[in-house]
Amino acid sequence: MSGTPQSDPDDFDDPLSNYEPTQYASELHRVLAEESIDSMRSTPIAEVTADTTIRDATKKLSELKVSSLLVIDDEKLVGIFTERDVLEKVAENYQELVDHPVSEVMSADPTVVYETDPVGMALAGIAVAGHRHVPVLKMDGTVLGIVSPKRVLRHLSPNLD
Amino acid sequence: MGFRNELEQDTIDSLPLRDAAVVRPDTTASEAVRLMRETSLGCAIIIGPGDAPIGLFTEQSLVDLLARDQSLDACVVGDCVDPGFLVVKSGDPVSRVWDAVERDGLRFVCVTDNDGRSKGVTGQRGIAEYLAERFPQQVLVQRLGNTPWMQQREGA
């Protein structure tokens, strides 16, 4: 009989037989490396659409006492409008810009993290990339939430000892 | 030793400090905004007698002024301080800043020397960088951008 010879199950060499899970120096190390961002609190979020006026977006930042608004069109993140944008792009010409759409001054294509990324990546977005707020996307590209330094620290706090 | 002990033993000197613009209470908001843009920092420290910090004018203060259609030239920073204000000494434990960020959501914390003179600010960014430096293999190796990790892999 021709064809692939039958393999003997007893000869099977399991490549994972010597696998040993990563050992972490502390629970904090493990949380940063292995826990996914969807285990963190990343809601609520504050959002506007791209055609929202700068006046309305600024009022929303003030009323909600938040530092950033996610700019979402058709359930997709198209940008982020932050207090820094107000400082850098809006403040000195506010009266001229108030009726313009927020899309003109928002930060397009912001750094994002995905729900399955590790918590350490959210921290990298804040500490390394220097963003105060990092949007969290689902794998289909829709918005899940946003992470902030406060939310990261709250998530880590139970594991400090 | 748990990380909580490190937070108690390390002093605020070990956090990155940023040089913030320093203003007096009678500085106009428009002048404070100009200085904040120069320093690329979201706050200006309002100092009083002895150069001691007495308040902060922040991006949130600015947003609140604009939202109320108030003229930045007509407002002085002493009238629109940010309600979130904490002063710590550089020899205080890092845990003070951690707690201020985690529990109170403060973005900036003013740091003074032992004589109470302003040395700069730290806060959310400072504590995040402190954490990242202590957990480099968990934080500093992460890819950053706006595409999923899977799409960045080469090959099949």
- In chain A the domains, ranked by start, together with CATH numbers, are 36-159 (3.10.580.10)
Distance of alpha carbon A43 from alpha carbon A50, whole angstroms: 21
pLDDT tens across A44-98, in order? 899 999 999 999 999 999 999 999 999 999 999 999 999 999 999 999 999 999 9
Which residues from A are below 8 Å from B142, CB to CB? 117-118, 120-121, 124, 128
Nearest to A150 among B59, B60, B105 (CB): B105
Distance of alpha carbon B118 from alpha carbon B25, whole angstroms: 15
> What pLDDT sits at residue B153?
47
pLDDT tens across A7-43, in order? 777 778 888 888 888 888 899 999 999 999 999 988 8
Which residues of chain B carry a pLDDT beneath 70? Answer: 1, 142-156
> What pLDDT sits at residue B147?
58
Nearest to B66 among A58, A139, A153 (CB): A58
What residue spans define the domains of chain B? 3-152
Tokens of A121: 């990546």
Interface test with B, best of A23, A40, A61, A115 (most B CBs within 10 A): A61
Mean pLDDT calculated for residue range A142-154: 94
The dihedral of CA B36, A44, B105, A157: what is its sign? Answer: negative
Q: Return phi, psi of residue A71, to 5°.
A: -100, 115
SS (H, E, C) A77-141: EEEEEEHHHHHHHHHHHHHHHCCCEHHHCCEECCCCEECCCEHHHHHHHHHCCCCCCEEEECCCC
Whether residue B144 contacts residue A129, with contact meaning beta carbons closer than 8 Å, is answered with: yes
Q: Which helix (H) or strand (E) holds B57?
A: strand B53-58
What is the C-alpha R_g of chain A? 23
Considering the segment(s) B3-152 as one domain, its CATH architecture is Roll (3.10)
Whether residue B4 contacts residue B95, with contact meaning beta carbons closer than 8 Å, is answered with: yes
Closest-approach residue (CA) in chain A for B16: A127
Closest-approach residue (CA) in chain B for A95: B69
Report which of B59, B76, B75 is spatially closest to residue B123, judged by C-alpha positions. Answer: B59
Report which of B19, B21, B20 is spatially closest to residue B31, judged by C-alpha positions. Answer: B21
pLDDT tens across B60-91, in order? 999 999 999 999 999 999 999 999 999 999 99
Do the interacting molecules here have an ipTM over 0.95?
Answer: no
- Contact residues, chain B to chain A, C-beta under 8 Å: 2-4, 7, 30, 33, 36-37, 42, 59-60, 62-64, 66-68, 72, 98, 101-102, 105, 107, 124-125, 127-129, 131-132, 135, 137-140, 142-146, 148-149
Q: Is B43 helix (H, G, I), strand (E, B) or coil?
A: strand
The runs of H, that is alpha helices, within chain B are 3-9, 29-39, 59-67, 94-102, 124-134, 136-139, 149-152
